[in-house]
Every structure is written in C-alpha cells, then in structure tokens.
Amino acid sequence: MRLPQISSPHRLLSVLGVGAIFLLLNAAVRLGMVFFSGEWSGLGLGGWLGVFAVGLWYDLAALAYVWPIFALWAWVCTAGGRGRRIHALGFMVLFVLALFGAIFVAASEFVFWNEFGVRFNFIAVDYLIYTREVLGNIRESYPMGWILTGLAVLTAGIGALVWRPLWQQALGPADGFPRRSLQLGIALVLPVLSFTLVGDGPKGWFQNAGARELASNGYYDFWRAFRNNDLNYETFYSTLPAGENLVVTQEMLQRVQATAATREPRATHARVYPKVEKPGAPYNLVLVSMESLGAEFVEALGGEAGLTPNLNRLSREGLFFTATYATGLRTVRGLEALTLSLPPLPGHAIPVRKDNKGFATLGGVLREQGYDTLYLYGGYSPFDNMLDFFGGNDYEVIDRTRIDAKDISHETIWGVADEDLFKLAVRELDARSAKGKPWFAHIMTTSNHRPFTYPDKRINIPSGSGRAGAVKYSDWAVGQFLAEAKRKPWFDRTIFVLVADHTSQGRGRVDLEPKNFRIPFIIYAPKLIAPKRVDVLNSQIDVAPTVLSLMGVGYTSYFMGQDILTEGQLNPRAFMANYLTIGYLRDNRLVQLGPNRKQSVLDANSLTEIPPTDTLSRQVLREAVGQYQYTSQWVSERPRAFFKR
C-alpha cells in the first residue's frame, strides 16, 4: 500500500495519509468480521454494499477523534527548516504508536466479536474498570507473547510500506501560525460534530442485527457506550400517558385471581402474600446461579448430549421449568433478576449503578423472617460491584478471600474451581445450622468461563479444551455438592435452586433472539417438593417469587416477578435485554424497544415483523411499554421507607 508521490507535499497531507490508513484498516476489520462470522449470505450484494457504505460513515466518525492528535503536533511545530524536521520525527513516532494501537484494537475486536457477537459495547467499558480480572483472563486464555510479537511484525511491515511517502509529507512545508491555528481549530471541531451528529440512525436502517454490528465501528461504539452507561427510559424509549404505566403494571400482576395475594394499599405494584404453614418449615434455601449455562448445553432442554448428566437427573427428580428466559447476557443481569426480581432496564444493570442500595431483595425478605442471608462467590467480590451491591442489600458477602490456599484445587483469574466454592459453602452452611437459625445462600459459580480450565481427572474432557469441558465440569461439581449435602442433617429441610445467570450466546438475526436467552431452572428438594415438569413461559425475575411461595413465606412483595406455579399459569411472559434494546416475549410476540423511541413487534418463531395493525401485537406492545416505563420510575423514585424493617 504505497501513497502517491507528490512533489513538495504540504505537511497536512501526512495527516490525511494517516486518515486513509485508518479507514483502510477499519474496512479490513469489517471485511474480516464478515467472513469470520459467516454472515455474508442473506443480505445480497446491495445489502453488503450498504453495510460498507454505512461503515465508512462510522469509520469517519471515529477518525474525527484521531485526527486532532496529529493536527495538534502539526500546529506546535514551526514552519521553518528545524521545525519541519522536528515535526517529521515526532509525526513518525506518533504514527508508529498509533498504527500498533490500531492493529492491537483490530485484534481485540475479533476476540470480542468471537466472545459476544457484537462490536465493543458497555461490556468493554466495564472491562476498563475491572482490569485485574480482564487482563488476567487474557493472559490465561491467549499466548500474549506470540500475539504481541505478531502484531509488532505486522506493524513493522505496514510501516515499512508507507514510511517513505509519509516521511516526505511530514517533512513538507507548513503554513504560518495563524493558518495552522485555523487548521487545528477545524480538527478540534470534528470530534464535536461526530459526537453531535452521528447516532444510531444510519445502522438502524438494517433489520438484520448482525449487519448493524458489522456496519458500526468499534471505536465509536466504545465511546458511545462510555457516554451512555445509564439511559433514562422516559427520555429515550416509548412511553404511555402519565399514570397509565402503573395501570398496565397492576393489570398484569393482578391477572390471576387464584393467588392468595392482595393489593398493597398504596399506589404501587406491591402485593401482600400471607404466610402459608408448611410441614417442617422454615426451610433453608440454596440458590446456585451457574455461569453461562444456556439451554444449548443441557440435554434435558434439547441441548448437546452428555454434558450435563447431573442436571438431567435433577430435571427428573425436581421441579423442572423448561421455558425460562434470562433477562440479559451477562452475570450482573442474572444477579439483578434473581435478587431484585425486576425487568432489565436499558444501560447498566442496577447492581453496578451508583444508586444500588435500599432495594427489596430476596435476601432482605428472608432476613426479615430471621434468616442468615449469604452471597458466596469464588472470585473477588469487588468485581461487577458485587460486594457493594449485596453487602448494601441485606447479604453477608463471602468470597475468594475466605478460602485458604491449601483448600484450592484450581483457580483462574475469575475465581476458584466450582468444587472449592461448594466446599466453602458447605462449611459455612454447617456453621449456620449449628446456630439453629434458618439460612439462605446464593452461590455464584465461575468455572464455565474462559479460559475453561478446571482440576484434572474430574471429567473425561481435558481441561482448557473449550467450553464443553467447562460445562461438564460445572455439572460434575454440582453433583458432588448435592451428594455432600445429602449427608448433612440440614439436607431434608433445604430447597435447592439451580438456574443459569445467562447463556453463552449473543449473536442472532435480531437484537433479542429468544434462543439466546433460554436457560435451565430446576428446584430440587426430594423430601419437600414432588417432581414435575413445568412448560409455561416464564422469566428469570420469577425465580424469587416462585421459591418464596414454595417456602410458604408471608411478605409484602415489591417484586415485578410472579409465582410461576400460580400467577404465571395465566400470565406467561418473559423480559430480556442486551443493553440498548429491551424486550418482552408473550403469546408468540417478541417486542423490541430501543432508543429514539424505536419499537417493533416480531413473530417469536420466524423473527419477521408483524404489522402494527395486528390487535394482539398492539396489546403486547402496550404491556411491554407500560411495565418497563413503570419499572424505570419505580427504581428512580422508590420510597425507601417501604423497605424499612
């Protein structure tokens, strides 16, 4: 790639040359992702030309943030002979650093795309916060020495091709200080214009979610996510007239007349559930949220055979919910749903927001009943703000720091092996049982996470060989945990809940393809609950109300979830989100709500858009908008006094 030779080139041509190289690199990344993802079919030639045309627009938007760096250096260096030489030397140093950085970002984009199926987004922003875990995971998962060497060689190769013309341009004449100042001013305006004028509009033309991601730009999406970590629902999303959102929410939560719940007397969604006497109550509760365990890995849900023998057995011996959908694609979303029982709002999940205290939680409800409430995590709990969130909402947090080195059979940057976490849990539960108090333990596993390593000789798949092995090991660890629990005096009075935090999938034809959110959910208590298969559609936010109902707990519910076994039978629906797009699944209708008040209703099977004239679609859309709008208002305006004991 040789830039054209120009006699007596002006200094600014070197800046334009950098821009051309930047655009070519980003176009190459886009083309590589097309083949890497296997998504070149389906849009046709015109569609793909559109992807690259829109992609050029976003690449230019990203370039607007790069150019000022070189323009500033061109402004600093004088127009004389000495200034020209200083400019050329400094420019080439900047160029080499920028080129290596751009190639490194390109490689990172491919890794991120492989993991999440999208360009850089809010996950990448979060990774800047939790650098210990992220950098450690990269070191454990990839041969970074070889990768960095390869990137350096590629940088040197490209640099050698363009060095001479760029050097000649950088050494060229420059304008006087007034004109250089004007040129710098123009360059500094470009990021402002990019920030102000560029949005989701152009890539929003594509119906295909993969095409939208390919048309975008990783740099641009990263800064956009950085600016929009918390999106105000009422400002950006579809709304109903004042007060109607509460009416819709109350309608949805009161659909089932068979439930013993009554309306809480204040103007909220709250309901009052009376205590129900259960033989041998109060029961203990163990909630295991399993990392990245989508339905595609669970044979009992039609997934890959042979990976989850223990979950398959438990699905026959317990309450097996076959149509449960996670609210998001990250652990923090799963923790939010299981703990707060609220639909997923756009932007960051509540646990990682600043205002994350004073919520009604599953742990808070049980602590009011005299329970010890624990959150156990195999990693370091500051990650994803777990310590702050759970510690500030009625849980005692127990993490990696409570495990002696001699008790660790294996660990990664994310945490200890699941078997070590479960051994810690058994010790803690034995100690709580000795006090004579009931307890609730929420256990968050970590082994089913890249680099997918675990102790040797546990299963017949070698450690580090891929996700399938990590899934089978996690299932093995659960089996060992329950086998050990059966030997404990507290087992017969304990309800075990096994549910995934999210799936490992993200890429789909539409933003919220339902298959990417389907997860296993099993309630196991052989002495307390008879086996049953439950095929009704339900949401991850329904786990807490369902379990509390089985325990016979009386409480005032500020949850938006419902008891699947009673209320859920006549009000089957699910909530889901991927960050900017939030959704609602009901009656084979999939509602997708996005910024700029975008909305669509799709057939949940074919994923084709249904005309807005369809009566059922209008009703489901109204339900979705009303419940999300109300949830947003409740989260921001909730009266903290409601939760005081």
For the stretch 198-234, pLDDT in tens is: 876 677 677 677 777 888 888 777 777 666 556 678 8
At residue 593, the pLDDT reads 95
User: At a CB cut-off of 8 Å and minimum separation 6, what does 115 contact?
Assistant: 450
At residue 404, the pLDDT reads 93
Mean pLDDT value of segment 395-418: 93
What is the CB-side half-sphere exposure of residue 636 using CA atoms within 13 A?
A: 12
* CA–CA gap between residue 44 and residue 42 (Å, rounded): 6
Query: Three-state DSSP class for 268?
Result: coil
Please state, as a whole number, how many other Cβ atoms lie within 10 Å of the Cβ of residue 40. 11
Q: How many residues does the chain have?
A: 645
Question: Per mean pLDDT, which range of 115-129, 259-273, 319-333 is the poorest?
Answer: 115-129
At residue 228, the pLDDT reads 58
At residue 468, the pLDDT reads 95
At residue 59, the pLDDT reads 87
At residue 29, the pLDDT reads 86
Homologous superfamily (CATH) of 236-640 is: Alkaline Phosphatase, subunit A (3.40.720.10)
Mean pLDDT value of segment 377-381: 92
User: 238: closest CA among 627, 508, 640?
Assistant: 627
At residue 3, the pLDDT reads 42
User: 488: closest CA among 433, 437, 419, 442?
Assistant: 433
User: At a CB cut-off of 8 Å and minimum separation 6, what does 415 contact?
Assistant: 377, 378, 379, 380, 400, 421, 446, 447
Q: Which residue has the higher pLDDT, 450 or 534?
A: 534
* pLDDT of 121 over the 80 cut: no
What is the CB-side half-sphere exposure of residue 597 using CA atoms within 13 A?
A: 5
**Cα(first)–Cα(last) distance of the chain, in Å?**
70
* pLDDT of 190 over the 80 cut: yes
The pLDDT tens digits of the residues spanning 132-165 come to 555 665 666 678 788 888 888 988 998 888 888 8
Q: Which residue has the higher pLDDT, 116 or 86?
A: 86
Mean pLDDT value of segment 438-451: 95
Top-confidence range, 333-342, 383-392, 403-412, 627-636: 333-342
* CA–CA gap between residue 457 and residue 243 (Å, rounded): 60
* pLDDT of 486 over the 50 cut: yes
At residue 622, the pLDDT reads 95
The burial class, CB within 10 Å (0-12 / 13-18 / 19+), for 160 is: exposed
Confidence of residue 6 (pLDDT cuts 50, 70, 90): very low
In percent, the amount of the chain with pLDDT more than 90 equals 50
Structure tokens at 459: 């299963």
Every domain range in the chain assigned CATH 3.40.720.10: 236-640
pTM: 0.78
* pLDDT of 575 over the 50 cut: yes
The pLDDT tens digits of the residues spanning 17-75 come to 888 888 998 888 888 887 766 555 566 667 778 888 888 888 888 888 888 888 888 88
* CA–CA gap between residue 391 and residue 90 (Å, rounded): 51
Confidence of residue 1 (pLDDT cuts 50, 70, 90): very low
Mean pLDDT value of segment 90-97: 89
* pLDDT of 378 over the 50 cut: yes
Confidence of residue 127 (pLDDT cuts 50, 70, 90): low
Q: What is the mean pLDDT of the chain?
A: 87
The pLDDT tens digits of the residues spanning 17-30 come to 888 888 998 888 88
At residue 47, the pLDDT reads 73
At residue 136, the pLDDT reads 60
At residue 123, the pLDDT reads 63
Helix 467-486 crosses helix 418-434 at what angle (to 10 degrees)?
Answer: 20
At residue 636, the pLDDT reads 86
The pLDDT tens digits of the residues spanning 502-529 come to 998 876 778 899 999 999 999 999 999 9
The pLDDT tens digits of the residues spanning 251-298 come to 887 765 446 677 777 678 888 999 999 999 999 999 999 999 999 999
DSSP state at residue 522 = E
* CA–CA gap between residue 439 and residue 325 (Å, rounded): 27
Top-confidence range, 122-131, 186-195, 284-293, 404-413: 284-293
The burial class, CB within 10 Å (0-12 / 13-18 / 19+), for 175 is: middle
